[in-house]
Amino acid sequence: MMRLRLWHRDLVCKQAVELVTGYLEGTLSRSDRRRYEAHLAGCPHCTEYLAQMRKTIELTGTLTPDDLTPQMQDDFIDLYRQWRAEGISG
Amino acid sequence: VDSGSDAQLLTALRAGDERAFVALVRRHHAPMLRLASSFVPNVAVAEEVVQDTWVGVLRGIDRFEGRSSFRTWLFRILVNRARTAGARERRTIAVGDTGAVSDTEAAVAASRFGGGGSWLSPPERWVEEVDDRLEAGKLAGFLRTAIEDLPDRQRQVVTLRDIEGLSSEQVCSVLEISESNQRVLLHRGRSRLRQALETRFGRPS
């Protein structure tokens, strides 16, 4: 009981939000990871915050590249043919 | 042709297959353009950088040994050219653009915490909101804009890591930055994106 409290006080929310990336990257030291997880266990807001960071990463990962326009594609074909034909100068 | 791996396409390209070249260009164009745009002042210059990079690829293709992934190699060539073009266009490079990453930007505004460092204004909920009610296209559009609004270096790291799926090691190699700088930039970029999503979609819990 005493210990949990001490832990909780050990790491405040303001510090916890700065550890999220290290936590997700697996680069926190063992003691920092423990402190962070202990903090999460007692703090629903920081737990929500971590879930939001995970969601942010997931959403970013779903973005798909924009397509190449036909005009640009033709430009690249020209570039290639030029290279094949004569080698590109410069 | 489009479904081949980069390695297969490279082999075909070496053998003189034009379609393999087009397939490679198409596959990598958007991320290259985005990455180039974060180094140079406008899209026209970014497009030149991308073209220039492909010229470099065609010239150097016989020297590429496949020790790194093709994408890492490609992005390295791009970043080199983009830096040169960016320096030429700007004449002077903005202060803080090339220097060390300082450690002052907070993930969450300090005003949202009380004196003891606990949440005063806790995160508003939005995860359920975007999952349940939001049209995917709308969300993607919003997120793209938010990424474009990130400071250049954060945008570079977030784009390579979270959109392109490069490893932290590959990102360090492409951008020639240290592991710890990579992590700080990633942290800040992701934190800003989270905040943007909260600001736009959050509901007080």
Give B22-39 pLDDT, tens digit per residue: 999 999 998 899 899 889
Q: What are phi and psi of B204, to 5 degrees?
A: -55, 135
Contacts of residue B83, Cβ cutoff 8 Å, sequence gap at least 6: B39
Whole-number average pLDDT of chain B: 88
- Does the ipTM exceed 0.85? no
Interface touch B51/A76, C-beta < 8 Å? yes
Instruction: Please tell me which residue of chain B has the smallest CA distance to A19.
Output: B187
| Top-confidence residue, A26 or A71 | A26
Mutate to test the interface with A, among B1, B159, B194 (most CBs of A within 10 A): B194
Q: What is the dihedral of CA A18, A20, A21, A27, to 10 degrees?
A: 100
Helix A44-61 vs helix A13-25: crossing angle, to nearest 10: 40
Q: Would you tell me how many other CB atoms lie within 10 Å of the CB of residue B36? A: 26
b/e per residue A20-46 (b: at least 16 CB within 10 A): bbbbbeeebeeeeeebbebbbeebebb
A35-65: per-residue pLDDT in tens? 999 999 999 999 999 999 999 999 998 886 6
Q: What are phi and psi of B104, to 5 degrees?
A: -110, -15
Interface touch B22/A80, C-beta < 8 Å? yes
Contacts of residue B104, Cβ cutoff 8 Å, sequence gap at least 6: none
Q: Please, where are the H alpha helices in chain B?
A: 6-14, 18-37, 43-60, 70-90, 127-132, 136-148, 152-158, 168-175, 179-201
A59-89: per-residue pLDDT in tens? 998 886 666 677 777 888 888 888 888 765 4
Name the residue type at position B170.
Q
pLDDT above 90 covers a percentage of chain B that reads 61
B78-136: per-residue pLDDT in tens? 999 999 998 877 654 444 444 456 667 899 999 999 999 999 999 999 999 888 777 77
**What is the rounded distance in angstroms from the CA atom of residue A36 to the CA atom of residue A20?**
9
Nearest CB among A45, A57, A65 relative to B30 is that of A65
Token representation of residue A65: 């590249």
Helix, strand, coil distribution of chain A in percent, nearest 5: 80, 0, 20
Can you give the pTM of this predicted structure? Answer: 0.80
Secondary structure class of B40 (helix, strand, coil):
coil
Q: Which of A4-18, B67-81, B143-157 has the lowest mean pLDDT?
A: A4-18
At residue A87, the pLDDT reads: 63
Average pLDDT over residues A20-37: 95
- CA–CA distance from A82 to each of A78, B16, B55 (Å)? 6, 13, 10
**What is the rounded distance in angstroms from the CA atom of residue A38 to the CA atom of residue A7?**
7
What's the gap in Å between the CA of B51 and the closest CA on chain A?
8
Name the residue type at position A40.
L
